[in-house]
Structures are given as structure tokens and as C-alpha cells.
Amino acid sequence: MIKLLIVDDSALMRRLLVSLFSAEKEFEIRVARNGKEAVAENRDFQPDVVTLDINMPEMDGLTALSLLMTERPVPVVMVSSLTQEGALATFEALNLGAVDYVCKPNGTISLSVEAVRDELLTKVRAAAKAKLRAPGLQSKAIGLAQQLRTDRALLLARGRERPPVRRKSRIARDGIVIIGVSTGGPSTLEEILPQLPTDYPWPVLVVQHMPGSFTGPFAERMNKLCQLEVVEANTPMLVQPGRVYVAKGGADMVVTSRAGQLTVLPKPEHPAHLWHPSVELLARSVLEHCEPEQVIAVMLTGMGNDGADGFTELKKLGARTIAESEESAIVFGMPAELIRRGGAGLVLHVDKIATQLLVWSEN
């Protein structure tokens, strides 16, 4: 049995969620009306997983989450709105230690719950088995990046290193990095990408499974944290060094060649693929338009097998590939599938991935 704590200030929402999970016969359920009750129930009930609303009276979801993670860490799935404000609050929750989130679609409560029924069940089951990562770990990555800048400044002052030159006007021809990630992705990316320096020579294309209203705020957040420029690929864009391109949610991202120049562009979601934006479609387009020897493909935490076939094909043709290790992956689904297919050249803890990207881009 999975011990589930449902936290929501709406009595109707609580009833609907209890009904949904009770029908599955695998959940022992308690409810809380606000964050204060959630903290008390976490001590008393000791749930295996919590669904947590963000906007609640007396104690909001983010405050409650910070207390949950301090007193008795537990996997938490946030239930948030499909708005920019909801997206920003959700990213803060992931930073505080939440495992995943489910977006409430617009409409009546009963229809909204039914619309996300399968997603709720899948994510709560996965969260119950997920590894917890210490909250705020991206501060470690940011600290490392800041130390790197300080060290390089000292070397420059001593005349031992040339200042980095941003090459935004140059089209990427030397190589490209593609990253596929799902559940647990935002906090994982916040550990890796801030460590890449301003003169990192290859562009980075990121496919994070995420709804359309979330990817813009996510790219903006990452742009503030990273030394590289981070943009949402919401229109056709030339692929340039020194840039991170985040696939737009509600679409699929592919690369193509226009007038001999590598370009990234969003396309309507392809119905043949289960997850979107699709890691598999990006990998297949890279296979078509890039030399595999100049591709680095990284598979991070997430449910399912999106991209495993495409990444494996890339490796067979000469690409260098990384799967995040089971030790650090919040959900070891996507990396495990890549490893099972023989598509992982290296299996690395999340702490080692940025360093490996630096090493490979220089060789």
C-alpha cells in the first residue's frame, strides 16, 4: 500500500482526489486542508507521498513544503495552475525539493481532475519510488560556477589566460549537445547548466517534458542562473555557440538546415510520440543534419523511454552519450532505458556531467 496525503483547501477537490485514488485499491489516504495540517499529518501519518496545492489559507504550499523537507523529507507532487505565476511557484517548489508537478487545466474542478487523472496516478506512483534530492542543490552548482569565474579572473590578471570571447555571431559547426529529461528535470538541469562557462564552445539543446505555459518562465529562470544565454526555442533560430535552447512546451523541437546553417525550430506535437516535447524527434533530426562524431547526447532523470532509441542510434554511429546514474537520478526510467539498449557511453552521477561536457567539447 502507498500511504498518500492529499493537501488542498478545496473540499470538492479533496473529495474528487480521494475518490480517484481510492478506486485504485493501492492507496491508504489521509487529507489536509492547508499547509499547517499537512505538516502535522506528515509527522503523524508518515505518508510515502504527498500531493500539495500551492495556494492555501493559513499556510501556503511553498511554506509547508519547506517545513516538510526540513522535518521529515517526503516525495511531493505539486498541484499548480497553468499560469505564469503558477509556473514560477512550481519551479520554486522543485527547488525546495518537490519531485514533480501536475498542472490543473482550466475549467470546472471535476472536469479538471478527470482531465489529469492518468497523469496524477502515474506521477504519484513514480514519486512514491523516487529518490529525494537535497533542496537547493543548484546553489552548489552556482557556487562552482562562481568559483570558476573567480579562478579565471585571477589567471587573467596574472597574464596566464586570455579573456573568453562570446561567439554569438558564429554558426555552430564544431559540435552540439542535446539533453533529454523529464521528471525531476528542472532541479537537475539547475545543477548542471550553471557550471558551463561563458565561452563553452558548443550550443546546448534541452528537451524537458513540460507544458507550453511553463517553458518560457523556465528558460527565463535558467537564463538568470546560467553563464550561458538560455532561450525558449519558440520560433526558428540559428543554432549558435554559447546558447542553451529549451524546447517550447506544447510542441516538438527539431533541428534542420537552412541555407547551410543549422537551425532549431518548433513543430506541432507529433501524434506518434507519447511524450512532448519529444526527445526522440530531436535525436532523429540531429541524426539527419549533424555528424554523429560531433554530437554529445545526455539522458537525465525521467519516467519512460523517450529518446532511448534515437540516442542509442547516435552512439552506434559515433556520438558520445551519457546516462545519469541510478545513484543520482530522481527517477531512473529514461537513463535506465538508454543503458538497457546499450546506448550509454558513460554512466555518470549528476555532479560529474558538467565536467564531462567541458572535457569532451575541448577534444
Q: Which residues are the active-site residues?
A: 182, 209, 306
| b/e per residue 171-209 (b: at least 16 CB within 10 A) | ebeebbbbbbbbbbbbbbbbbbbbbbbbbbbbbbbbbbb
ω before 277 within 30° of 0 (cis)? yes
82 φ, ψ (degrees, to nearest 5)? -85, 55
Say how far apart CA 179 and CA 300 lie, in whole Å. 7
Cα 268 versus chain centre, distance? 21
